[in-house]
Structure 1
Amino acid sequence: MPLSQSTDCNTIFYTNPQSRGQIARWMLEEVGADYRQEILEYGAGMKSQEFLKINPMGKVPTIVHGGKVITECAAICAYLADAFPEKGLAPSLDNRADYYRWLFFSAGPLEAAIVNRSLGVEVKADQERMVGYGNYELVLDTLSQQLLDSPYVAGEHFTAADVYVGSHVLWGLHFGSMDMRPGFEEYAARVSERQAYKAAKLIDEELIAEREK
């Protein structure tokens, strides 16, 4: 199916239900965006010349909002929070220290540590200064302490950072790529009660079920 170049919707969402696109869909549901989805298959679908013009990395998720291309899940979450300020998913500008800190902590150290461990990449003690996350155990302990200190990653209120961080915790605990730490299970239960999370999850689960028929 040709990729949409125009649509009545202001947002086009390029995804695959079995991908990090689940994070972006959750965020789209949180802001109540009117979006059109384009499901791309791994391989030829994501590497087509048509899609590479939109995202040269050939990766999903990618969104096009008002003609602007946004890639990378953390960026999509932050962008949509700002694009829909009435939803209150970003703190005020003078209260964004923790919001930015933990959003990018998860996009950098957390994801790198999880992926390297899953791939069997071992960082030796004398190499820790070369990698931004130091070591896997330190990353999880650091996140654990933050989640014990406040109900949400940036404080008392749910924000777009919780969509991103929460997705990592939910995914990591479900698939075993993250070891359990104090606060993880409670945090996962808290964020997964969001109506937007449930709605997004249902859509992707139905898409996966259709593909498996």
Structure 2
Amino acid sequence: MPGVIGAIDGTHIPIPGPSHERQAYINRKGFPSIQLQAVCDAKLRFINILTGWPGSVHDARVFRNSPLYTLLENGNLPEDYHLLGDSAYTLQPYMLVPYRDNGHLLPWQVNFNHIHSTSRVVIERAFGLLKSKFRRLQKLEMIDVERIPLVISGACVMHNIILMKENLNLDLEIQQDLEVIGHDVGVDNVAAREARAAAVQKRDEIATGLAMHM
């Protein structure tokens, strides 16, 4: 898929949960956690991370409140480039998401979704590799919530260093952390609607271009 600079997703780091405002940390799977939002490249290296949001917060809200969102909304990414996100994110010129499958997708849309999925899987592999190398992240037994993001961020940095310094076998068996939420954020102003239209056209052009190689 052309123009991809990275894949974005969120994952949950299980924690004991604080005694105060504990409910805010309970995620949709029923356990307390801290969110890690990350963008990785094709080599599974994290090129942008944000962590610290409680587990109950939706991926889309975490993204909308991130410095990365502000950077992208301000037009700091050339129009030919984009991130790949799942359906938890909103289609934008800088964010390509799959076509929503209503049972009536055309073959070229199905083809796009397949290529999108096989391209975006790098972020799932990156999360799996991170948690397999730093097993404490599978259950981070820390009470001091304010220090937890430092530990998670440090693990992400070490993850990148390991990938740069060691010749790892990236085909090792790792735990996949698939978290797909079918939800789009509403569009409520003219500029956003115009951006959405541009994103739809961009995705369609890429999808039809990919279909020529089917």
TM bucket (normalised to shorter chain) is under 0.3
Structure having the larger proportion of residues in strand: 2
Higher RCO, 1 or 2 (CA under 8 Å, sep at least 6)?
2
Give the TM-score of the pair, scaled to structure 2.
0.25
Structure having the larger proportion of residues in helix: 1
